[in-house]
Amino acid sequence: MILIWLMLILFAGGIGAWLSESRGIGVPRVIALVAILLDLALVIFMLLAPESIGLTPVTSEQDEWLVLFQADWIPRFGISFIFGADGFSLLLIALTVFLGLISLGSAWHEIKERSGFFYFNLLWTLAGVIGVFTALDLFLFFFFWEVMLIPMYFIIAIWGHENKEYAAMKFFIFTQVSGLLMLLSILVLVFLNYQATEVLSFSYFDLLGNGLTGEVGMLVMLGFFIAFATKLPAVPIHNWLPDAHSQAPTAGSVILAGILLKTGAYGLIRFTVPLFPDASMAFAPIAMTLGVVSILYAAKVAFAQSDLKRLIAYTSVSHMGFVLLGVYAWNAQALQGAVMTMLAHGFSAAALFMLAGGLQHRIHTRDMDKMGGFWGVAPKMSFMALFFTVAAVGMPGLGNFVGEFLVLLGSFQVSITTTAFAALGLVVAAVYSLIVIQKVFHGENKNNYEFDDLTFIEMACFALMMIGLLWMGLYPQSMLDMAEPTLRSLGVAFP
C-alpha cells in the first residue's frame, strides 16, 4: 500500500492546493511543500529502513520486489491494480520526489498567478510519474503515462513564455501520438498472448515470455520503442523538446529534464527489451546508431544556439543518447552506466535549467549574445553554473562521469566503431560548455545588467544537487547495488 500512498498524498495535495487558491500565493505552495515532504519521508524510510514501515521483499515468479501490491480492477478484461517497486524503480521514485522538491523551490518566487492550479498540475505530474515507475499492469501503466502528460501540457501552456501555446501543443501532439501507438501495441500484444494462452491479461508478469517473434514481434516492439524514444528523446523524434524547454517555466523545465525524460529510458529497460528480447536484439544495431546520432547531432546543433535554455535542451538530447546506447548494448556495464546516467543527468540538467530559468526571471532574456560579465554581478550563481556545467561534461569524481564511462565501457564490447563516435560527443560537449561559460559569465557586461544573486532557497536546492552528484561520483556502488538485482532478473549477465 505504501506505493499507493505515495501517489494519493500527491493527488490529494494537488487538489488541496487548487482549492486553496483563493487564499493567496502562500497557502497553495505550503500545501504542496507538505505533500512533497511527506512523500520524501516515505521514500527515505523505503531506502534506509524498509522494515520500520513493514516492507519485506516479496517474491514473484519473475523477481524479488521490495513491495508488490495486487488487486482486481476490471477482471472481465484481465486488468488489475499491480504496483511494484524493486531497486531500480525505487531509485527513480527517489529521484522523482527529490526533484519535485527542487521544482517547488524554483517556483517558490516565480509563480505568482493561479498558483493553486499550478501546484495542482505540478503534484499530479509527479504522481503520474511515480505511477509510471511502479505500474506492472500495462493498461495501468498507460493510464499513468497519460496522467503525467496532461498536467505538464497545462504547466507549459499557462505559465510558459512567449510561444507557450505552440510549444505546449507540439509537446502534446508528439507525446500523445506516440502514446496512442504504444496503446495499440499493448492491445495487439495482449490479444496475441490471449490467442496463444487463452489467458486475457494485461499483467507484466503474464506477458513476459509471450513468444512474439518475426515481423509481428518486430512491429509490436517498434510501437513501444517509438513511444519511449519520443519521450527519451532520440533523434529524429526529438524536436518537441527544445521548444518545450525554452517556453516552459523553470519548474516545468526541471521536471521535464530531470524526471519525464527518464520515463522513456525506464520503459525501454523495463518493458521493450524484456517483452521482446529477440526483436530488440535484432533492432539493437539500429537503436545504438540512433543513440550515437543523438549524441553527435544534438551536440552539433547546440553550437548554433544563442537561446540559453534551448542550448541546454539540446545537451539533454545528447546526454540521453548515451542512455539509449547503453540500453541496447545490453550488458552489465552498459546498463549500469545507463542507470547512473539517468540519475546523474536528472541532477545536472535540472540544476542547469534552474540556473537558466532564474537568470531569465532576473534579466528577462535567454539570449546569450546579450549576456556577459555576470561573474562579477552574481558570483554564487556563476560558481553554481560552472560546477554543474563541468558535471554535465563528465568531470571525474561526479556522477555523470561514472555513467558515461560505464556506457562506453559496455558498448565497446559490442561495437568499437559506435563507441568511438559516441566518445566524440564528450569532446564536443566540453567545447560548447566552455563557450557558454565564457559568453555568459566572463567578458564584458554589455548591457550593464545588475540583479540579485541566488536566494537562500535557490542555494539550498543547488547545494542538495551538488551533494547528490558528488555522492554518485565518489560512491556509485550504493546505487549500482540497488539496480543490480533488477538487471539480473532481466537476464543481464554479471561477472
SS3 84: strand
C-alpha cell at 175: 507525446
Q: Which pTM value belongs to this model?
A: 0.93
Do the Cβ atoms of 454 and 382 come closer than 8 Å? Answer: no
Question: Which residues make Cβ contacts (< 8 Å) with residue 176, sequence separation at least 6?
Answer: 149
From CA 12, how far away is CA 337, in angstroms rounded? 36
Domain extent listing, the chain? 1-275, 284-495
Residue type, 232: L
Q: What is the residue whose three cell numbers read 507484466?
A: 204
Q: How many CB atoms lie within 10 A of CB 491?
A: 10
pLDDT for the residue 170: 93
Q: How many CA atoms lie within 13 A of 9 on its CB side?
A: 21
What tens-digit pLDDT sequence spans the chain (495 residues)?
788 999 999 999 999 999 988 887 889 999 999 999 999 999 988 888 666 555 555 444 445 678 888 888 888 888 999 998 888 999 999 999 999 999 999 888 888 888 889 999 999 999 999 999 999 999 999 999 999 999 999 999 999 888 889 999 999 999 999 999 999 999 999 999 998 888 899 999 989 887 777 889 899 999 999 999 999 889 889 889 999 988 999 999 999 999 999 999 999 999 999 999 999 999 999 999 999 999 999 988 988 888 889 999 999 999 999 999 999 998 999 999 999 999 999 999 999 999 999 898 888 888 888 888 889 888 999 999 999 999 998 889 999 999 999 999 999 999 999 999 999 988 888 888 888 898 888 888 877 888 888 889 999 999 999 999 999 999 999 999 889 988 988 888 777
Element (H or E) spanning 58, and its range? strand 58-59
Q: How many CB atoms lie within 10 A of CB 438?
A: 12
Do the Cβ atoms of 407 and 329 come closer than 8 Å? Answer: yes
pLDDT for the residue 255: 94
pLDDT for the residue 49: 67
